């Protein structure tokens, strides 16, 4: 009896597998894409000082950081939109001079929601004592809304492709069986003039220190439809 039941189960499984495999399907890739000009930036700047005395190096760094924070506040940037990301004080040994030195560093990230302030902010940060710009990332404040729109476009594009293929065969597209999302967002890399060069320019001249570019938001979906 057990043997008969096992055989019956195997036959049932094989029949079900064959049934699934014989369902006519069409699989297509749908694409949605849009480009948008960024309206905000995430800026990371740093302060670094090197010297022979740890306390002196740390004191100099703290003085510059205090000046940097005052500059950021002066530009009307809310406290919630800037913060310290990293603080360090390291002891280093120079094998050539056989002497020790200390290096103090601190990085601050700024969420700039008004790009019209970018040039003035960066120049004033340099004036306040920052000595490195670690990165500037441009983004859109409407990113989530745009991503939702693009995903819908990608699905519609997939359906249109499937209907084009099926129409040539005299068939129709049925319900979706499977959807795989492969969305990506590409952020532009800023192109900006060396800040020290810009600082040396005539103060009365109009500064254009970066090309913002555009954010490309894309959505790619793999969709399998029933084919009737």
**Domains of the chain, residue spans:** 23-38+141-228, 40-139
Task: Render 39-71 in DSSP notation, one character per residue.
Answer: -EEEEEEEEEEEES-HHHHHHHHHHHHHHHHHH
**pLDDT by residue (tens digit) across 54-71?**
999 999 999 999 999 999
Continuous segment of H or E residues that includes residue 109: strand 99-112
pTM of the model as a whole = 0.67
- Tens-digit pLDDT profile for residues 209-228: 566 778 888 899 999 999 99
Does 190 have pLDDT greater than 70?
A: no
- pLDDT, residue 205, reads 44
* 23-38+141-228 CATH choice from 3.40.50.970, 3.40.50.2300, 3.30.110.170, 3.30.70.260: 3.30.110.170
Q: Is-contact 47 61, C-beta < 8 A?
A: yes
Residue that wins the pLDDT comparison between 207 and 84: 84
Beta strands 215-227; 25-36: pairing state: antiparallel
Q: Is 129 left (phi over 0), alpha (psi -120 to 50) or beta?
A: left
pLDDT single digits (tens) 94-142: 898 889 999 999 999 999 999 999 999 999 999 999 999 999 988 889 9
Distances (CA, A) of 122 to 33, 48, 77: 32, 17, 13
Name the superfamily (CATH) of residues 40-139: Protein of unknown function (DUF541), domain 2 (3.30.70.2970)
Does 40-139 match 23-38+141-228 at the fold level?
no
* C-alpha to C-alpha distance for 176 and 105, rounded to whole angstroms: 55
- Indicate if the alpha-carbon torsion angle 31, 35, 39, 41 is positive or negative: positive
Supply the pLDDT for residue 221: 94
């Amino acid at each position: 009896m057990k043997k008969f039941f096992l055989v019956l189960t195997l036959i049932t499984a094989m029949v079900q597998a064959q049934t699934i495999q014989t369902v006519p399907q069409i699989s297509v890739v749908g694409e949605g894409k849009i480009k948008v000009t960024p309206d905000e930036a995430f800026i990371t700047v740093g302060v670094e000082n090197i010297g022979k005395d740890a306390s002196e190096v740390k004191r100099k760094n703290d003085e510059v950081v205090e000046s940097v924070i005052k500059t950021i506040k002066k530009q009307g940037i809310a406290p919630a939109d800037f913060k310290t990301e990293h603080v360090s004080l390291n002891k280093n040994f120079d094998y050539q001079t056989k002497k020790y030195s200390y290096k103090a560093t601190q990085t601050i990230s700024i969420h700039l929601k008004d790009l019209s302030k970018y040039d003035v902010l960066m120049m004033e940060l340099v004036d306040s004592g920052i000595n490195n710009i670690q990165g500037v990332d441009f983004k859109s404040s409407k990113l989530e809304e745009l991503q939702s729109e693009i995903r819908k476009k990608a699905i519609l594009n997939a359906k249109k492709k499937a209907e084009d293929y099926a129409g040539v065969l005299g068939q129709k597209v049925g319900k979706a069986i499977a959807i795989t999302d492969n969305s990506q967002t590409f952020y532009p890399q800023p192109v900006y003039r060396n800040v020290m060069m810009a600082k040396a320019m005539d103060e009365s001249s109009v500064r254009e220190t970066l090309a913002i570019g555009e954010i490309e938001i894309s959505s790619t979906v793999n969709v399998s439809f029933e084919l009737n």
